[in-house]
Amino acid sequence: MSMAAQDMQNCDEKFRQVGEKKNPLERFNESLVKMTEICRSLSNKI
């Protein structure tokens, strides 16, 4: 799960490097970050 969250951050970084001010996939990243947090929380309870 941590790796998935890290990949999303790396994606944002690449968009900034090519001059994009905002990642066009940002709204999806927000959803994926929330899902990742929920999955990590559930896995800690198992």
Predicted local confidence at residue 33, as pLDDT = 81
pLDDT tens per residue, range 1-46:
667 666 767 777 888 888 887 778 788 878 888 888 899 899 999 8
Predicted local confidence at residue 1, as pLDDT = 67
Encoded tokens for 10 = 């790396």
Locate all alpha helices (DSSP H) within the chain, ordered by sequence: 2-17, 26-45
Beta carbons of 1 and 38 less than 8 angstroms apart: no
pTM (two decimals): 0.55
